[in-house]
């Protein structure tokens, strides 16, 4: 790049020429400016990265807090649902017992229902018997047989009453 052994018009003194020194100094100054510019960029990017890192840590912290709050909410909901499930299971067992009891009672009703046609027939028969006019009852007189006419008899039943077959009157004995 730079040649300190340049020849200026045939002189070779081993000393760099002033224009070469000036050019080298300008180059060093430009490099120094470039280094300062790069260092400034590095500082800015480092600060930017630090800010982003802080922002991301804060965001991560907020996310973790929100996550924990959400977990707590879900856990509370879970406990409520678990309690509700236990209540429903208890209710289900009670209903199953009630169903078994009612099924047992239904068996009695089914048996009673099987008698409905017979009860209907009996009710119809009773209605018809009550609706029919009462029969005329004629007193019946006993007829005398030939053996009874020959020997009148009185019966005594354990000392309570006697009946004279001839007269047909009941007599009480005390």
> For every one of its 174 residues, what pLDDT tens digit does the chain have, with 9 covering 90 and above?
555 544 454 455 678 899 999 999 999 999 999 999 999 999 999 999 999 999 999 999 999 999 999 999 999 999 999 999 999 999 999 999 999 999 999 999 999 999 999 999 999 999 988 887 777 887 888 887 665 555 555 555 455 444 444 445 544 444
Asked whether residue 58 is assigned to any structural domain, the reply reads yes
Asked whether residue 127 is assigned to any structural domain, the reply reads no
Asked whether residue 32 is assigned to any structural domain, the reply reads yes
Distances (CA, A) of 67 to 6, 52, 80: 73, 22, 20
Asked whether residue 102 is assigned to any structural domain, the reply reads yes
Asked whether residue 165 is assigned to any structural domain, the reply reads no
Asked whether residue 149 is assigned to any structural domain, the reply reads no
Asked whether residue 157 is assigned to any structural domain, the reply reads no
Structural domains counted in the chain: 1
Asked whether residue 84 is assigned to any structural domain, the reply reads yes
pLDDT at 134: 75
pTM of the complete model beyond 0.75: no
Q: Structural domain of residue 110, as residue ranges?
A: 18-116
155 Cβ contact list (under 8 Å, min separation 6): 162, 163, 165
């Amino acid at each position: 790049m730079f040649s300190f052994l340049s020849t200026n018009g045939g002189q070779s003194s081993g000393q760099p020429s002033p224009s070469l020194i000036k050019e080298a100094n300008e180059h060093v100054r430009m490099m120094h400016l470039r280094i300062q510019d790069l260092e400034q960029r590095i500082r800015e990017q480092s600060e930017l990265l630090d800010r982003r890192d802080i922002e991301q840590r804060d965001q991560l912290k907020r996310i973790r807090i929100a996550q924990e709050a959400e977990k707590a909410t879900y856990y509370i909901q879970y406990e409520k649902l678990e309690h509700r499930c236990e209540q429903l299971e208890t209710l289900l067992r009670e209903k199953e017992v009630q169903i078994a009891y009612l099924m047992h009672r239904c068996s009695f009703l089914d048996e009673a229902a099987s008698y409905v046609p017979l009860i209907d027939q009996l009710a119809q028969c009773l209605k018809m018997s009550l609706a029919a006019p009462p029969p005329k009852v004629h007193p019946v007189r006993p007829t005398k047989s030939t053996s009874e006419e020959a020997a009148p008899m009185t019966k005594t039943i354990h000392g309570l009453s006697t009946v004279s077959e001839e007269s047909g009157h009941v007599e009480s004995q005390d």
